[in-house]
Amino acid sequence: MRNPSIDRQLVLVTFGLILFGLATLYSAGQTDVPTRAAGAWERQIMWVGVGIVAAWIVFHLSLRVLEWVAPALYVCSLLLLGIVLLVGTGAGTAESSHSWLSVGGHQIGQPSELAKVATVLMLARFLSGRKEPPRSLRDLIAPSLIVGVPCLLVLKQPDLGSALVFVGIYFAMLFWTGVRPRMLFLLASPVISLLLAFNTLAWSFWMIIFVIILIAWRPYVWDWVVFLAANVAMGAVAMPLWKRLAPYQQNRLLTFLNPEVDPRAAGYHAIQSRVAIGSGGWFGTGYTEGPQKRLAFLPEQHTDFVFSVVGEELGFVGVLVALSLFLGLFLVLLRIARRATDPFSSLAVFGIVGLFFTHVFENVGMTVNLMPITGIPLPLFSYGGSFFIICSLCLGLALRVAWDSRQSGYADT
Amino acid sequence: MNFDSYRIRERADIARLVLLGAFLVLIGAFFRTQVLQHEKFQLKAATNRLRPIQLTSPRGSILDRKGKVLAENVPGYSVKLLAQSTDSLRSVLARVARFVPLDSARVTDILQRYLQARYQPALVFGDASFDVIAKLEEHRSLLPGLVIQAEPKRLYPAGKSIAHLVGYVSEVTEADLNADRYPGAVLGSIVGKAGLEGEYDDTLRGIEGVRYIEVNARGRLVREEAASASLPPTPGKRIVTTIDLDLQRFVDSIWPAGVRGALVAMTPNGEIRALYSAPTFDPNHFVGGISSARYPPASPFKLAIAAMALKRGLINLNTTMPEPCRGGLRLGNRVFRCWKKEGHGTLDLIGAVAASCDVYFYQLGLRLGLDAILQDGVLMGFRDKSGVDLENELSPIYPTSLAYFDRLYGPRHWSAPGTTLNFSIGQGENTQTLINMVKFYQGLAGPGATVTPYIVKPSSSRPRSLGLTARELDGLRRALIAVVERGTASANRRTDLAVAGKTGTAQNPHGEDHGWFIGFAPADKPELVVGGIMEFAKHGTTVAPYVVQTLRRYILGPDVTGPVKLGVLLDETVTSQDTAPRPIELDPDSAAAAKAAADSARRAEPAQ
């Protein structure tokens, strides 16, 4: 190796995923019916080139520069999110939403992707500047606002999937900064209350258990009150909130529970994706040969449902290989975060783990109906320029953190 | 941030556990979908993209007795459309209509078919010409879901000459399916209708096959599935008939244009050699329905009356009637006329048959009595279908007892003697199909028993004896020979072939009378019995030449028979008539007077 300080594991696993992704994209374009996926792999190669350049630039920037630029980047991305709410356009599965920024009729990118990275950097900067990890709700107000503002703006587009990614980043980084897991659990408790509120009996049980937990864990008095109030409030607003949802939104949630409710419309994606994956079996139907994909039964096979192509054509074995690569990536990133030279770097890398992981788990999960269908891409696989560049920036940053820690002698043998 | 390395390591361990747990959940979900539920999803994937298409089985051919083809298969094409929804089908049909003619009624019909079986391609053209196929094939890219299929198509080389005999084929109707008339048929099956196609549909149809085609998400045909996945159709079996196609064609060639009627030729043992019905149609382009008809049997029925009387021993061949024929018979206050105004004088049975003397048979009928006529008629089979192996044979109408007339007219509103006289000359509430009358004459021509006529399979039912002795049969045959030698059909006497037969004229309240002739030849050792009827022909003598020519064609061969003079039908110079005259009213009818007359006739019977 010319440069022994480059983290070879990260580079290898990243290029493994990129090549796997390109191969899958190529196959996604091989259909018997003309689809938009046809030339996607060629354009993606261009984006890969752009991404490598972007990662190379970030790799050469000091983390201090990133830390310094984080607030400006964060404000910029909030502004963009605001603009896109006013003039944004839809695309793909979400034609009616406002998630794309267009200039002169050309869609140049989704500000929500940029906002994810900016939020990671901003939150890393804020949390790393504090001596102690947040212990009470009061301590959590600022970090919650940092994540909450872009999250709400994205939710307004509406883009439920990306909003979920902010939540993932939030919890991951709070955990990494040292917030106790029981605090994280209490933070998540209103959501549990909301979900259980549709069954009065289950909700009653939950409230009893929750009170016992509060008594046992003895948080601050004010936290005690707020958490209990939030849980009760969630239980109360659940039904009215459900009724206020538009019928198509209700349908989406219902079809998650049972896709056969509406097999032609809302449940179509969920059913066809599972059919494609299920018909793959152990070894799949063969690379580029998947009939469900070839005959266009599989929707969005080059973007949101690119992983279904892997499932259909390469089978369970191919899925295992792809998931292993992703798991490998996360473990490498985790190691880099653990051995980072300073809190900001460590938090930033772990925030990236939270970002990527939410994307992977939600995207792969929805192809087998493990998660509700929200249109978020699979990192390094799904076709798309802006998201690929964001991913490249993140990995360039991680590579730099790893390089820094090796330079300072922190690296393992 | 709490950044001491021990804490960080602790958190990293927890994070690793969470990651591993999450990936195990994902892998578990994929294992469940791909390995545990693989078969379920594989089946779903197959039903997603594979559409079954029926493969019509080649229908068995129908041959005549010498192996000539009555019906066979030639390659044809069907055009079908696969569609996702009614709307998409409608829009594709609109585009089809730009290239080939397609009216709105047809479109409605196609849409209706589509709704019955959405996952099967909807039939657009069952039998498309090569032009249509070429035009559609040219614009295939505009017509998603287009399926063009080579399919065996039914061809009847003999065309209209055999139409009523072979019947036709068409797509099975929903009513047929509901009634389960065609076992094994499914929506879209081609089944035989009427004639031999209908009667022997089971044998001819075979078993349909199936093939799968692969379609994409828009229902467009992508490729034919591998042949291994398809089930080839089992061809139907051929049937060999007793028909003589040459004779059948000959009958068609001599039949006068525009005349309604029928002609049946059968051997004495019941094999049908020709079965012709006019007006005919081309079964290759069939649209309407097949007609079959009943007519009053008229004078040919006199032989049945004679046979009844002989069987009951009321008369013998030489018996004369008490009243000589003076042109009519007075019954009560009515005179029942003979067709010959001048009268026939005194005749014996043979003479009466030869001259078709109505007055003789009036008296014979009165001697038999209406009860006996009805009883014996039923025994001779005049109430039953002939039993020929053809679909949709009509039942003749023949009362079983006097109660029939009571029901029909009311107990006191009909006169038994008048009805008896009508029945004696084959009129009245008695209508017969041609084939049933030919069956009776086949009994006379053969050994004195009627056998069930057949075209493919002989009937298992036993011959029905007429109950006549050989001498009596011989006598009746001599009488029938006399008809042609010197009687009503003498114009048709030929030296080369001795023909026996009987003319008849059936009263027709709606216009000119219908003409009958039933005959057989050679008279001494019959080989063929032929019956013909022509509507509005006025006289039986009009029909006789056609029947005689048919007999000569069959027995003497094609070289002897020339064309029949077509003018015969309208020839007013025909002298030898055989009409069934209507009685003249002398006085307002009274049942009592009629009864008295009947009684006096009975008293005149010779003591037994």
Q: Is A37 exposed, middle or buried (0-12, 13-18, 19+ CB in 10 A)?
A: buried
pLDDT digits (tens, 9 = 90+) for B504-552: 888 777 777 888 888 887 878 888 888 888 888 777 777 888 888 888 8
3-class state of residue B202 by DSSP: helix
- pLDDT at residue B213 tops 90: no
- pLDDT at residue A226 tops 70: yes
- pLDDT at residue A300 tops 60: yes
pLDDT digits (tens, 9 = 90+) for A92-109: 555 556 677 766 556 667
Q: State whether B373 and B456 are in the same domain.
A: yes
Six-digit token string for B29: 């979900």
Residue in chain B closest to A363 (alpha carbons) equals B26
- pLDDT at residue B579 tops 70: no
H-run or E-run covering B336? strand B334-337
Average pLDDT over residues A247-260: 73
pLDDT digits (tens, 9 = 90+) for B31-76: 999 999 888 888 888 877 777 777 888 888 888 888 888 888 888 8
Q: State whether B276 and B345 are in the same domain.
A: yes
Average pLDDT over residues B381-397: 81
Percent composition of chain A: helix, strand, coil (DSSP 3-state, to 5) = 70, 5, 25
Q: What band does B588 get if pLDDT is binned at 50, 70 and 90? A: very low
Q: What band does A191 get if pLDDT is binned at 50, 70 and 90? A: confident
* Residue in A127, A295, A331 nearest the CB of B222: A295
Cis bond before residue A150 (omega within 30° of 0)? no
- pLDDT at residue A302 tops 80: yes
Average pLDDT over residues A245-270: 72
* Residue in A181, A296, A330 nearest the CB of B217: A296
Residue in chain A closest to B223 (alpha carbons) equals A32
| CATH for B63 | 3.90.1310.10
- Which region among A224-233, A253-262, B5-14 has the lowest average model confidence (pLDDT)? A253-262
Hey, how many other C-beta atoms are within 10 angstroms of the C-beta on A196?
20
Its pTM stands at: 0.64
- pLDDT at residue B308 tops 60: yes
Highest mean pLDDT pick, A88-97, A203-212, B446-455: A203-212
Residue B19 placed within a domain: no
Q: Please list the alpha-helical segments (H only) found in B237-369.
A: 245-254, 302-311, 349-355, 358-368
Q: What band does A401 get if pLDDT is binned at 50, 70 and 90? A: very high
Hey, how many other C-beta atoms are within 10 angstroms of the C-beta on A340?
25
The pLDDT score that the predictor gives to residue A285 is 87
The mean pLDDT value of chain B amounts to 79
Average pLDDT over residues B551-565: 70
The mean pLDDT value of chain A amounts to 86
Closest CA to B307 of B387, B426, B417: B426
Task: Name residue, tokens 């070289």.
Answer: B559
The pLDDT score that the predictor gives to residue A312 is 92
* Residue in A296, A342, A361 nearest the CB of B22: A361
- To the nearest whole Å, the CA of B21 is away from the closest chain A CA by 11
Task: Name residue, tokens 């978020």.
Answer: A376
Q: State whether B471 and B598 are in the same domain.
A: yes
The pLDDT score that the predictor gives to residue A319 is 95
pLDDT digits (tens, 9 = 90+) for B400-431: 888 888 888 887 777 888 888 888 888 888 88
In this predicted model, which residue has the larger pLDDT, B352 or A328? A328
The pLDDT score that the predictor gives to residue A412 is 52
Q: Do A278 and B217 touch (CB under 8 A)?
A: no
- pLDDT at residue A182 tops 90: no
In this predicted model, which residue has the larger pLDDT, B73 or B489? B73
The whole-angstrom separation of Cα B304 and Cα B466 is 9
Residue from B34, B51, B214, B221 to probe the interface with A (highest A Cβ count within 10 Å): B34
Q: Please list the alpha-helical segments (H only) found in B100-244.
A: 104-116, 130-138, 163-166, 174-179, 195-199, 201-205
The whole-angstrom separation of Cα A380 and Cα A313 is 19
Classify strands B62-63 and B239-240 as parallel, antiparallel or unpaired.
parallel
Q: What band does A67 get if pLDDT is binned at 50, 70 and 90? A: very high
The pLDDT score that the predictor gives to residue A282 is 92
- pLDDT at residue A334 tops 70: yes
* Residue in B2, B23, B41 nearest the CB of A327: B23
Q: Do B19 and A175 touch (CB under 8 A)?
A: no
In this predicted model, which residue has the larger pLDDT, B590 or B540? B540
- pLDDT at residue B468 tops 60: yes
- Which region among A111-115, B401-405, B423-427, B565-569 has the lowest average model confidence (pLDDT)? B565-569
* Residue in A127, A275, A320 nearest the CB of B41: A275
Highest mean pLDDT pick, A338-352, B113-127, B282-296, B366-380: A338-352
- pLDDT at residue B584 tops 90: no
Average pLDDT over residues B602-608: 43
- To the nearest whole Å, the CA of B61 is away from the closest chain A CA by 42
The whole-angstrom separation of Cα A134 and Cα B222 is 61
Q: State whether B198 and B255 are in the same domain.
A: no
Chain B residues in contact with chain A using a Cβ-Cβ cutoff of 8 Å: 1-3, 7-9, 11-12, 14-16, 19-20, 22-23, 25-27, 29-35, 37-38, 40-42, 44-45, 48-49, 214-218, 220, 222-223
Residue B76 placed within a domain: yes
The pLDDT score that the predictor gives to residue B562 is 57
Q: Do B216 and A32 touch (CB under 8 A)?
A: yes
Highest mean pLDDT pick, A277-286, B291-300, B401-410, B594-603: A277-286
C-alpha dist (Å) from residue A264 to A272, A307, B46, B102, B496: 10, 21, 17, 31, 82
The whole-angstrom separation of Cα A30 and Cα A330 is 31
In this predicted model, which residue has the larger pLDDT, B182 or A399? A399
Residue in chain B closest to A330 (alpha carbons) equals B19
- pLDDT at residue B594 tops 50: no
B45-48: long-range contacts, CB 8 A cutoff, minimum separation 24? B45/A275, B45/A276, B45/A278, B45/A279, B45/A291, B45/A292, B45/A297, B48/A272, B48/A275, B48/A292, B48/A295, B48/A297
In this predicted model, which residue has the larger pLDDT, A279 or B85? A279
- To the nearest whole Å, the CA of A128 is away from the closest chain B CA by 5
The pLDDT score that the predictor gives to residue B128 is 80
- pLDDT at residue A190 tops 80: yes
Q: Do B27 and A296 touch (CB under 8 A)?
A: no
Q: Answer whether A188 touches B (CB < 8 Å).
A: no
**Between residues 114 and 173 of chain A, which touch chain B (CB distance below 8 Å)?**
127-128, 130, 132-133
CB-based contacts of B460, cutoff 8 Å, min separation 6: none
Residue from A132, A295, A305 to probe the interface with B (highest B Cβ count within 10 Å): A295
Q: Answer whether A289 touches B (CB < 8 Å).
A: no
Q: Answer whether A295 touches B (CB < 8 Å).
A: yes
ipTM: 0.92
- To the nearest whole Å, the CA of B92 is away from the closest chain A CA by 18
The pLDDT score that the predictor gives to residue A49 is 94
In this predicted model, which residue has the larger pLDDT, A411 or A318? A318
Closest CA to B277 of B248, B241, B246, B247: B248
Q: State whether B256 and B160 are in the same domain.
A: no
* Residue in A315, A327, A338 nearest the CB of B8: A338
| CATH for B584 | 3.40.710.10
Q: What band does A322 get if pLDDT is binned at 50, 70 and 90? A: very high
Residue B16 placed within a domain: no
Phi, psi of A263 (to 5 degrees): -65, -25
The pLDDT score that the predictor gives to residue B587 is 45
Question: What is the domain count for chain B?
Answer: 2
The pLDDT score that the predictor gives to residue B1 is 58
- Which region among A86-100, A210-224, A280-294, B168-182 has the lowest average model confidence (pLDDT)? A86-100
CB-based contacts of B584, cutoff 8 Å, min separation 6: B328, B334, B335, B337
Q: Do B48 and A275 touch (CB under 8 A)?
A: yes
Q: Answer whether A311 touches B (CB < 8 Å).
A: yes
The pLDDT score that the predictor gives to residue B592 is 46
Q: State whether B187 and B253 are in the same domain.
A: no
C-alpha dist (Å) from residue A389 to A35, A58, A374, A386: 24, 11, 21, 5
CB-based contacts of A264, cutoff 8 Å, min separation 6: none
Q: State whether B258 and B320 are in the same domain.
A: yes
Q: Do A297 and B48 touch (CB under 8 A)?
A: yes
Direct distance between the N- and C-terminal alpha carbons of chain A, in angstroms, rounded to an integer: 15
Average pLDDT over residues A230-249: 82
Residue from B1, B11, B87 to probe the interface with A (highest A Cβ count within 10 Å): B1
Average pLDDT over residues A387-403: 93
Q: State whether B382 and B457 are in the same domain.
A: yes
What is the residue range of B132's domain?
A: 59-240
Closest CA to A171 of A225, A217, A120: A120
Average pLDDT over residues B129-150: 82
Q: Answer whether A326 touches B (CB < 8 Å).
A: yes
